[in-house]
Structure 1
Amino acid sequence: MTTPIQWFPGHIARARRQLQEQLKLVDLVFNVLDARIPQSSQHPDFAQLIGERERILVLNRADLVPVRALKAWEAALLHQYPAVVTTNAQSGAGIRELLKASQSAYQRVNERRRRRGMLPRAVRTAVIGFPNVGKSALINRLVGKRAVRSAAQPGVTRQLQWVRIAEEIELLDSPGILPIKFADQEAAIKLAICDDIGSLGYNIEQVAARAFDLLLPLIPERLEERYHFDPTPFTGEGWLAHQAQHRHHSLTQKAAEQLLQDFRRGHLGPVALEAPAPT
């Protein structure tokens, strides 16, 4: 029996209420998604939260996705957003392009202010996304220094803070926002596989078994190269049991941890777990 994934820490509930108040002051939103799972890392309440505000889509961790898949997502998402920028917040790739897109949004926001007889001002920008998709690391790259706490685990940012990155732009860093309940359990599993929700919310062996089932048709040769046996006869559960028996003293949890760690760190090569719907 599969245990449903649910994770909604207390600080997330408080941050969501605070974010809804701060969004009243916001002109522009950076919607940060995990490039490996753009669909599953899109918050189901995003449109309701931001209303008619300017938006820029950021596909972070772009280095972990094949170029062809990344280009397909960019093309698909440009139908919904005025700008789609691919980034790697750890290396700084794509930051210049994001700043350029922000400048264009700054001009649009202040042109509307001028038409209303208002003076131009810095554009207030909120950075929104699930935990651990790289929001704080992205802000630190934009600022050019360590302005906010950042770590490779969900739930590090626990309060809202404003950071000025230029005369024209102020950024609001916020804790990752989560739905109160994951109605889409397949999306929740993919978030867990990519380490975008806390490990207390899921069974690691179930998540790793599902990760194997998703990865097998995509990268069978890479799995065989990494683990030194043919993966094709196995389901996820069977593969974990085999791996545990031969490499982890029969500890299935250790086998699960290794698979997820290898995927998350890019040791299995670039992989896109989702593709845009055909048009």
Structure 2
Amino acid sequence: MTFTPAIQWYPGHIAKAERQLKEQLKNVDVVFEVLDARIPLSSQHPQVKEWINTKPRLLLLNRMDMIPSDLYTPWQKWFESQGERVYFTNAKAGKGVKEIIKAAKQFGEGVNERRRDRGMMPRPVRAVVIGLPNVGKSALINRLVGKKAVKSARRAGVTRQLQWVRLSDDIELLDAPGVIPWRLENQGDAVRLAICEDIGEASYDNHRVAAALVDLLQELDFSEVLSSRYGLEVGANTGEEYLYTLAHQRYQGDLERVAVLFLNDFRKGVLGAIPLEFPPYVD
């Protein structure tokens, strides 16, 4: 997917957070990397594996409610074929939280067994919650803790500093600001991040991203949701043409209003459970 001008976003607070996160990783026992279930591949940070080295990592596909349930198993199989452990979560509803707590405790048992072997006292397992902006890290932590322990909102860049949160006597969690590569080489990924609001809105134009979403829905055979929602078929129109026609038929030619409405309908799930990526293959 091509997109001009290129989408790039790397504000100063993210550069600072990345430096602090790298320093804290040496104190962490297990890494929970939160991904957006609508775009599990595009929402992975390419350098996380390098940062954590041999530390155990669990992938948490958040917003599981925003994709069809028949995709859970194919994604699970694909990630497992890549040597990854995957859990599905819905931070807002608290789904999948118990499984994560159980997994963290299991890691803690291993950590403390090794400490006892060295004559050291047991301590809580230290986990870090890491991921791109706005994929639901803070909302997930609040669910794990059972109260609003950290700031959470449906926009990128709310968490600005690292914060340790005590989950229980057994688990401590590090909430880190969203981190993103300093340069997004794959603009197809960048567009999907913008569509899903997993990147700062200052990096893109709503009209162009909304048009890209129309094109993507056509490509993935989801264009019928548009005619159902807006009473206008896509047909042979490009995304740009579709938005232009819809704006002039319904909203006095206000393209920005249509673009924002369309993107919000997708982001809030009004258009239904729509994935923008599928597993590359399933054995």
Fold-level match, TM-score > 0.5?
Answer: yes
Of 240, 260, 273, 2:263 maps to 260
Q: Give 1:121 shift.
A: 1.4
Of 54, 64, 67, 2:66 maps to 64
Aligned residues: 279
Question: Any gaps of 5 or more consecutive residues in structure 1?
Answer: none
CA–CA separation in structure 2 for the residues paired with 1:112 and 1:79? 29
Worse-matched range after superposition: 132-141 or 230-239 = 230-239
CA contact (8 A) 1:36 1:64 kept: yes
Task: Say which SS state the counterpart of residue 182 (structure 2) adopts.
Answer: coil
Q: Give 1:112 shift.
A: 3.4
2:233 aligned partner, one-letter code:
D
Show CA shifts across 1:180-225 (max 9, x none): 1111111011000000001101121111111111112432222111
Of 121, 146, 149, 1:147 maps to 149
Q: Write out aligned runs for 1:1-279 (5 A).
A: 2-80=4-82, 83-216=85-218, 217-278=220-281, 279=283
Q: Give 1:91 shift.
A: 0.8
CA–CA separation in structure 1 for the residues paired with 2:153 and 2:191? 21
CA–CA separation in structure 1 for the residues paired with 2:59 and 2:82? 9
Task: Say which SS state the counterpart of residue 29 (structure 1) adopts.
Answer: strand
Show CA shifts across 1:41-69 (max 9, x none): 00011111111111111000000001112
**Structure 1 segments of 4 or more deviating over 4 A?**
none
CA–CA separation in structure 2 for the residues paired with 1:112 and 1:184? 42
CA contact (8 A) 2:215 2:239 kept: yes
CA–CA separation in structure 2 for the residues paired with 1:241 and 1:57? 39
Question: Any gaps of 5 or more consecutive residues in structure 2?
Answer: none
Task: Say which SS state the counterpart of residue 78 (structure 1) adopts.
Answer: helix
Worse-matched range after superposition: 80-89 or 156-165 = 80-89
Structure 1 length normalisation: TM-score?
Answer: 0.96
Worse-matched range after superposition: 10-19 or 82-91 = 82-91
Structure 2 length normalisation: TM-score?
Answer: 0.95
Sequence identity, in percent? 51
2:171 aligned partner, one-letter code:
I
CA contact (8 A) 1:36 1:272 kept: yes
CA contact (8 A) 1:248 1:255 kept: yes
Change (3 A) 1:145 1:177: same
Task: Say which SS state the counterpart of residue 59 (structure 1) adopts.
Answer: strand
CA contact (8 A) 1:56 1:81 kept: no
Q: Give 1:81 shift.
A: 5.2
Worse-matched range after superposition: 218-227 or 188-197 = 218-227
Q: Give 1:120 shift.
A: 2.4
CA contact (8 A) 2:104 2:127 kept: no
Worse-matched range after superposition: 211-220 or 54-63 = 211-220
Show CA shifts across 1:4-53 (max 9, x none): 00111111111111111111111111000000000000001111111111
1:267 aligned partner, one-letter code:
V
Q: Give 1:93 shift.
A: 0.9
CA contact (8 A) 1:83 1:101 kept: no
